[in-house]
Amino acid sequence: MGWKEAAEPVLTRMPTVRRPEGHVPFKRKLAWTAGILVLYFFLTNITLLGVETGQTSDLFGEFRAILAGEHRSVLQVGIGPIVTASIVMQLLGGADLLGLDTDDPRDQVLYQGLQKLLVFVMTALTALPMVFASGFLPAQSSLTLGGFTFDQTQVQLLMFLQIFIGGALVLYMDEVVSKWGVGSGIGLFIIAGISQRLVTGFIQPTEGGFFYDWYRILTGQVEVGSLVTSDGLTTLLLQDGHLIALLTTLLIFGIVVYAESVRVEIPLSHARVKGARGRFPVKLIYASVLPMILVRAVQANVQFLGQILYRQLGNDMPSWLGQYNPRGQPVSGFFYYVAPIYSPQDWMWWTGNVSQETWMVLIRIAVDLSFMIVGGAVFAIFWVETTNMGPEATAKQIQNSGMQIPGFRQNVGVIEKVMERYIPQVTVIGGALVGLLAVWANMLGTIGTVSGTGLLLAVSITYKLYEEIAEEQMMEMHPMMRQMFGKE
């Protein structure tokens, strides 16, 4: 008996959100999407019961923008376990170690069940060190609820249970949006979290906000002349004023929207309906920017491992692995070089804000660039192949729709060869370009401490969400379009 037969009773009984039996009206889809969005914001504002008050270090602080969670809340882990499980499934599927045929309905159920089970496992593995390792989420020494008093260990178990439930809720909220709403839940949560950070970072008149120095000038706390000095200009441009961050944010918006519009359009015509023509667009960012989540998730997990080792070993940690400052940030060794660059203060050594040697900073920049560019291209290829966007799957979709490429025989193999001229090359170029843009945006900084990757994700996902809403509206106005595209 193979593993599929042994695991089938468990995997087929995994809780799942039922698919709609027929067409879901557009207004109802919007209602489901809005409802899940409100629930997401509600959960991010529920503080973990039993957590100690006061400031604590956030393991995923610099990755919060793309992990769509909130520190010390029920959604502590965000979409991290879902992304990690997706990486594992893509690697196993790409190496054909699972033996699952995604075209077989039975194997599809097993694949989805296995992915959900893996999400639960990853949620537990992520939550355990957060709760039980010292310095991450300190628990109260005792807690009284309804006349019952819990000791510290029981409080930690209660916190672990809350984080696990939060991770499960994110999984099923994503499934509800994917089946009953517009777009995907993961994309929706990323947009929500990043938009909140952008708005907050732009309007708040406190340190770190865009208007901080302008607010101090207007209120007389600082003189304009003090900002004209070299130190003052450095502060205004790179730190509190965030003028460069504003320009970077606007440039990223413009570049991503432009890149989304750059495409190669392959002409199509219907084999039986004369005059019915169309185009298959192969966009420059063909795999979208979602593979960047996978790349950053790998980096987040590496830094997570480094934080755990540092908390457990302290000064006994081997120097080649890394040394950490009092704020819990790596300052040397392996974990320093593989840490992403988050802001200008991480690499502009001439400003005096960087304590590392110049050669160390240059190595870190080179590693971050290489990892993001190569990782972006590799994960883009994985994404295209596992989401049925590759040449073979695309050729089958075109063939099944009754379309063909003018001047070529109506044959799947012929269409596939034409697609192979464009899709693989565009996938690699687009993935590498997105990785380069993400590092560049991180190096110059963005409004609201949103990472470059987070800003890229927000703009691209919003653009695609706009396209999906426009498509839904078109199909709502013309019901025959749903039958043509198989949406009925």
Convert the pLDDT of each residue in 332-379 to its tens digit.
889 999 998 887 778 888 777 788 888 999 999 999 999 999 998 988
The answer to whether residue 317 is domain-embedded is no
- The C-alpha atoms of residue 120 and residue 117 are separated, in whole angstroms, by 5
Under a CB-based contact definition with an 8 Å cutoff, are residues 296 and 275 in contact?
no
* Domain co-membership, 246 together with 391: yes
Convert the pLDDT of each residue in 181-219 to its tens digit.
988 888 899 888 888 888 877 776 655 566 666 666 666
Residue 241: what pLDDT? 44
CATH number at residue 283: 1.10.3370.10
The answer to whether residue 285 is domain-embedded is yes
- The C-alpha atoms of residue 402 and residue 324 are separated, in whole angstroms, by 61
Residue 242: what pLDDT? 63
- The C-alpha atoms of residue 368 and residue 347 are separated, in whole angstroms, by 12
The answer to whether residue 215 is domain-embedded is no
For residue 240, name the pLDDT band (cuts at 50, 70, 90).
very low
Close Cβ partners of 208 (under 8 Å, ≥ 6 residues apart): 201, 240, 449
* 121 has a pLDDT exceeding 90: yes
Output 35 or 70, whichever has higher pLDDT: 35
283 CB neighbour count, 10 Å cutoff: 16
* Domain co-membership, 273 together with 399: yes
Residue 271: what pLDDT? 66
* Domain co-membership, 43 together with 164: yes
Residue 66: what pLDDT? 76
Domain limit, last residue, from 166, 195, 224: 195
The answer to whether residue 232 is domain-embedded is no
- The boundaries of the domain holding residue 33 are 26-195
* Domain co-membership, 286 together with 162: no
Under a CB-based contact definition with an 8 Å cutoff, are residues 423 and 391 in contact?
yes
Instruction: Give the torsion sign (CA, 377, 383, 385, 389).
Output: negative
The answer to whether residue 283 is domain-embedded is yes
pTM: 0.78
Amino acid, res. 367: V
For residue 452, name the pLDDT band (cuts at 50, 70, 90).
confident
* Domain co-membership, 30 together with 121: yes
* Domain co-membership, 131 together with 278: no
* Domain co-membership, 110 together with 255: no
Report the mean per-residue pLDDT for the chain. Answer: 81
* Domain co-membership, 179 together with 38: yes
From 98-102, 116-120, 204-208, the region with the lowest mean pLDDT: 204-208
Alpha-carbon torsion angle 403, 404, 409, 410, nearest 10:
-20
Close Cβ partners of 76 (under 8 Å, ≥ 6 residues apart): 48, 69, 70, 127, 130, 137, 163, 166
Residue 446: what pLDDT? 78
Domain count of the fold of the chain: 2
The answer to whether residue 118 is domain-embedded is yes
* Domain co-membership, 190 together with 254: no
The answer to whether residue 213 is domain-embedded is no
